């Protein structure tokens, strides 16, 4: 798959040429030649991308091209800014004054482009040594793929959870027990085991909704903000109270805890605390905020750490999510790889290779759904599925686990521009519920999105990319609008870690932890500051 950095620079260059070519033909032609050089490099990168996991020399070769592409992006942006400056309406005297400056600036840009083109030629020539081939640009059109995914993956359906039926019944029964005390019901398991998915199923169960009219859901995560969590719960309990929202922003922790306690007092409430990592996080949240006054209230907690669950309620036995069994893994794989509602089973010629792919997922629901999302868009042929299975081994050699290799493989299968969109999501804090509208504006502002035709605006193209990521199960839908559009989304912790790792490999961005003393000296296009609050 072509490198996302190269693809983005090519798209920006093309857009620039359409808008600014009239400015100065010679400079415009130089930019056009640079674009063509990058397009040719993108063809070679398709082969290199498939082989860089096996050969460190090829990885270094790809890094050289990526660095040159970033430099090209800088030159192109300078060119665009100069065009903007010199083409503004000016008087005759001003135009005559600026003319020498215009010539000097464009001469410098021309020399930089010439130097870049020579650099790219040297890199391209070295490909022969590594046996890198030109694989061309052919691929399924964006429109065809999107239509197929829309037909086969309706986001707004409440999907059944394969293998969780008995656990759902057990958890619902635990929440509905006739115990007047406030109790904590916990779900524990490794990352990607389906804790959040199961908790959502229980939270939205009809019997649970009927019993607990006062409900709220918050993600805690490893780096949580105590005040933000308290505000979120209070807002869910008091919807559409704008005056209260303004007051909450000014409240300190103790005031927020007192307000939440008052809201919950004398009510039969259910609050979900999703993704609690440490005992201290539970202690901080539960010390004064959740009343225990004999109303049969419940807290539903999910954690990777069993000790956190036992610490929260020693009398409650945690629900442990282990790996799915072989048959449950296979059934989930079929649902994801062949499309929802595909109850007719697997085509006989695909069953053998399909079962082997499912087995490689090690019973982890996240891995199964992600690889299913990858296969859903491919031809239902034995050759295609065997290619996926064969590519799995290459990624496994660089990953600590089979599940990690599945996620790596699914990332590698993304089209270039979609890779950029996915990487960008790593900039958001862990467990963030991301507004799609905000995300689209950020993508457009960054220049990641381009018009595909005269009628296709950047915002429309960006929304399509959100849909494509959700269709591939690389991103999860958090909330839908009344007209069945995606309103917000989130990224699973393991996929976010993958995005951060890949982004740092490609110098796309770096996450700087405020607990560290210094930022890496390595050149990055973006830096995100991560602060930890306890």
Question: Are residue 169 and residue 316 in the same domain, yes or no?
Answer: yes
Residue ranges in 240-364 assigned as alpha helix (H): 242-250, 253-264, 279-286, 306-312, 326-338, 348-360
Among residues 360, 384, 412, the one where a domain terminates is 412
Reported as half-sphere exposure (CB side, CA atoms, 13 A), residue 313 has a value of 19
Question: Are residue 170 and residue 312 in the same domain, yes or no?
Answer: yes
What is the pLDDT at residue 122? 78
What is the pLDDT at residue 516? 53
Six-digit token string for 509 = 């961005």
What is the pLDDT at residue 530? 53
Q: Which secondary structure element, helix H or strand E, spans residue 185, and what is its range? A: strand 183-188
Question: Are residue 367 and residue 455 in the same domain, yes or no?
Answer: no
Question: Are residue 253 and residue 352 in the same domain, yes or no?
Answer: no
Question: Are residue 179 and residue 244 in the same domain, yes or no?
Answer: yes
310 domain-assigned: yes
What is the C-alpha to C-alpha distance for residues 10 and 42, in angstroms, rounded to an integer?
Answer: 9
136 domain-assigned: no
Question: Are residue 109 and residue 251 in the same domain, yes or no?
Answer: no
pLDDT (tens place) for every residue of the chain, 534 residues total: 445 655 665 555 555 544 444 444 555 566 667 767 766 666 666 556 655 555 667 667 777 777 777 777 677 677 666 655 555 554 444 444 444 545 555 667 677 777 777 877 777 777 666 566 554 544 444 444 444 444 334 344 445 567 788 999 999 999 999 899 999 999 998 888 889 989 999 999 999 999 998 999 998 887 778 899 999 999 999 887 778 888 988 899 899 999 999 999 989 999 999 999 889 889 988 888 899 999 999 999 999 889 999 999 998 999 998 888 888 889 889 988 887 554 557 889 999 999 999 988 888 888 888 888 888 888 889 999 998 888 776 665 555 566 777 788 788 878 877 888 999 999 998 888 999 999 998 888 877 775 555 445 678 888 889 998 888 888 888 888 888 889 999 998 888 888 998 888 777 777 766 545 455 545 555 555 554 443
Question: Are residue 205 and residue 302 in the same domain, yes or no?
Answer: yes
Instruction: Give the torsion through C-alpha atoms of 342, 345, 349, 354, to 10 deg.
Output: 80
Question: Are residue 149 and residue 181 in the same domain, yes or no?
Answer: no
Question: Are residue 290 and residue 359 in the same domain, yes or no?
Answer: no
Helices 348-360, 326-338: crossing angle, 10 deg rounding: 120
What is the C-alpha to C-alpha distance for residues 529 and 75, in angstroms, rounded to an integer?
Answer: 27
What is the C-alpha to C-alpha distance for residues 363 and 340, in angstroms, rounded to an integer?
Answer: 19
Query: Is residue 152 classed exposed, middle or buried when 0-12, 13-18 and 19+ CB atoms within 10 A define those classes?
Result: middle
What is the C-alpha to C-alpha distance for residues 337 and 384, in angstroms, rounded to an integer?
Answer: 12
**Which residues lie below 8 Å from residue 5, measured CB to CB, with a gap of 6+?**
66, 69, 70, 420, 506, 508
Six-digit token string for 140 = 């399924």
Question: Are residue 246 and residue 297 in the same domain, yes or no?
Answer: yes
Query: Are the CB atoms for 408 and 498 separated by under 8 Å?
Result: yes
Question: Are residue 314 and residue 215 in the same domain, yes or no?
Answer: yes
Q: How far apart are the first and last CA of the chain?
A: 42
Question: Are residue 180 and residue 221 in the same domain, yes or no?
Answer: yes
**Which residues lie below 8 Å from residue 460, measured CB to CB, with a gap of 6+?**
none
Report the DSSP beta bridge partners of residue 510: 527
What is the pLDDT at residue 312? 92
What is the C-alpha to C-alpha distance for residues 46 and 176, in angstroms, rounded to an integer?
Answer: 55
Among residues 320, 351, 380, the one where a domain terminates is 320
Among residues 320, 335, 365, the one where a domain terminates is 320
465 domain-assigned: yes
CATH number of 498's domain: 1.10.10.10
| Alpha carbon separation from 49 to 125, 241, 361, 462 (Å, rounded) | 17, 52, 23, 25
Helices 25-51, 56-86: crossing angle, 10 deg rounding: 160
277 domain-assigned: yes
| The total number of structural domains that make up the chain | 4
What residue numbers bound the domain in which 272 lies?
A: 165-320
Tokens 């000296």, residue located:
521
| Alpha carbon separation from 323 to 56, 327, 414, 469 (Å, rounded) | 34, 12, 27, 25
137 domain-assigned: no
Query: Are the CB atoms for 197 and 336 separated by under 8 Å?
Result: no
Q: What is the phi/psi pair of residue 183, to 5°?
A: -120, 155
Query: Are the CB atoms for 297 and 131 separated by under 8 Å?
Result: no
The sign of the CA dihedral 244, 250, 253, 255 is negative
The sign of the CA dihedral 153, 424, 276, 304 is positive
DSSP 316: S
CATH number of 237's domain: 3.40.50.300
What is the C-alpha to C-alpha distance for residues 419 and 421, in angstroms, rounded to an integer?
Answer: 5
**Which residues lie below 8 Å from residue 247, measured CB to CB, with a gap of 6+?**
none
pTM (2 decimals)?
A: 0.64
135 domain-assigned: no
CATH number of 104's domain: 1.20.5
Q: Which secondary structure element, helix H or strand E, spans residue 136, and what is its range? A: none
Report the DSSP beta bridge partners of residue 301: 186, 273
Report the DSSP beta bridge partners of residue 469: none
C-alpha gyration radius of the chain: 27
């Amino acid at each position: 798959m072509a490198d996302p950095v190269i693809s983005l620079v090519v798209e920006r260059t093309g857009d620039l040429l359409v808008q600014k070519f009239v400015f100065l033909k010679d400079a415009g032609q130089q930019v056009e030649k640079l674009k063509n050089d990058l397009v040719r490099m993108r063809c070679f990168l398709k082969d290199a991308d498939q082989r860089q996991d096996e050969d460190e020399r090829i990885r270094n070769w790809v890094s050289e091209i990526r660095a040159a592409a970033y430099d090209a992006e800088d030159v192109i942006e300078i060119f665009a800014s100069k065009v903007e400056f010199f083409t503004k309406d000016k008087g005759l005297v001003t135009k005559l004054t600026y003319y020498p400056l215009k010539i000097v600036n464009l001469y410098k840009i021309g020399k930089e482009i010439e130097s870049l083109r020579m650099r790219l030629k040297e890199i391209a020539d070295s490909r022969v040594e590594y046996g890198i081939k030109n694989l061309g640009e052919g691929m399924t059109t964006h429109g065809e793929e999107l239509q197929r995914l829309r037909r086969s993956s309706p986001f707004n359906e409440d999907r059944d959870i394969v293998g969780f039926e008995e656990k759902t019944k057990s958890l619902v029964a635990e929440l509905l027990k006739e115990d007047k005390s406030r109790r904590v019901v916990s779900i524990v398991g490794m990352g990607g085991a389906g804790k959040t998915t199961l908790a959502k199923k229980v939270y939205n169960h009809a019997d649970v909704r009927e019993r607990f009219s006062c409900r709220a859901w918050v993600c805690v995560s490893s780096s949580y903000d105590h005040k933000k969590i308290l505000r979120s719960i209070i807002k869910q309990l008091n919807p559409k109270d704008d005056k209260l929202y303004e007051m909450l922003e000014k409240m300190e922790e103790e005031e927020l805890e007192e307000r939440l306690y008052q809201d919950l007092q004398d009510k039969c409430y259910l609050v979900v605390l999703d993704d609690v990592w440490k005992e201290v996080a539970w202690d901080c949240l539960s010390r004064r905020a959740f009343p225990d006054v004999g109303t049969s209230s419940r807290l539903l907690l999910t954690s990777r750490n069993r000790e956190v669950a036992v610490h929260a309620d020693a009398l409650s036995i945690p629900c442990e999510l282990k790996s799915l069994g072989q048959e449950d893994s296979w059934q989930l794989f079929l649902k994801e790889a062949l499309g929802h509602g595909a109850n007719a089973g697997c085509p006989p010629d695909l069953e053998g290779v399909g079962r082997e792919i499912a087995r490689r997922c090690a019973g982890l629901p996240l891995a199964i759904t992600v690889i299913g999302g990858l296969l859903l868009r491919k031809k239902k042929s034995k050759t295609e599925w065997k290619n996926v299975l064969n590519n799995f081994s290459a990624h496994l050699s660089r990953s600590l686990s089979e599940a990690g290799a599945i996620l790596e493989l699914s990332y590698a299968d993304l089209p270039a521009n979609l890779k950029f969109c996915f990487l960008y999501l790593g900039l958001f804090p862990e467990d963030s519920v991301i507004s799609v509208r905000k995300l689209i504006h950020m993508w457009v502002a960054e220049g990641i999105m381009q018009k595909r035709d005269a009628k296709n605006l950047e915002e429309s193209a960006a929304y399509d990319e959100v849909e494509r990521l959700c269709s591939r199960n690389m991103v999860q839908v958090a909330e839908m609008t009344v007209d069945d559009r995606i309103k917000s989304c989130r990224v699973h912790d393991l996929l976010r870690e993958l995005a951060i790792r890949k982004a740092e490999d490609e110098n796309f961005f770096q996450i700087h932890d405020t607990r560290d003393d210094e930022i890496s000296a390595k050149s990055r296009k973006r830096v995100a500051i991560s602060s930890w609050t306890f």
